Structure 1
């Protein structure tokens, strides 16, 4: 299976915009210089496995989806974990408390 780097770049760009992150923010989170990340997002270069995994974690996308556009087939627990693992424990605990509060309200109003 051949990788279409232009489509890879499009999926990365769309997700970055959806998350309202700047190129510089993504570059910093994946540990790369902004110009290199910009090349990835424009589809003018490939990337290492380490960079791909870092992008997957930062943008909350599966590697399959980034590379091939394969439908996301992860369960909700994995999605929650992927989303929370980029934050420190204090923020994770706050998010868990909010989720518990919301779920209790849903049960009450059900």
Structure 2
């Protein structure tokens, strides 16, 4: 299990690096890490510290959630929050019901 997890994490790092057009050497320089270290991480044969993870996140411009779990960053919901902030609290359950129904219809339609 641990080996497979390391391979998945390394794959996400490699995929992000390649999408940015970085060589291993370029990523290593941006993250202030050794090129050989980047190689072992991408191949899933090595592990890293929290400090190295932070350096990789900054260098790749991605979140730790994506690197570790494959989850994309959350969208900025500040506009929706602002729209709802002035709403009388008695209407919140209705908004939740509407949003739930809308999201369910999207899932059913395959969008």
Is this a same-fold pair by TM over 0.5? yes
Length, aligned pairs only: 75
Give the equivalent residue in structure 1 for 2:74: 73
Cα root mean square deviation, aligned? 1.8
Give the equivalent residue in structure 2 for 1:23: 24
C-alpha separation in 2, matches of 1:58 and 1:32: 10
- In the superposition, the TM-score normalised over structure 1's length comes to 0.63
Aligned ranges 1:70-109 → 2 under 5 Å? 70-75=71-76
- In the superposition, the TM-score normalised over structure 2's length comes to 0.62
C-alpha separation in 1, matches of 2:48 and 2:21: 22
SS at match of 1:35: helix
Give the equivalent residue in structure 2 for 1:39: 40
SS at match of 1:5: helix
Aligned ranges 1:56-71 → 2 under 5 Å? 56-71=57-72
Structure 1 runs (4+) deviating above 6 angstroms are none
Give the equivalent residue in structure 1 for 2:54: 53
Deviations 1:42-69 (A, max 9, x none): 1101101111011111111110110011
- CA positional deviation for 1:32: 1.3
The 1:74–1:54 alpha-carbon spacing in structure 2 relative to 1, beyond 3 Å, is farther
SS at match of 1:4: helix
Query: Gapped runs of 5+ residues in structure 2?
Result: 78-111
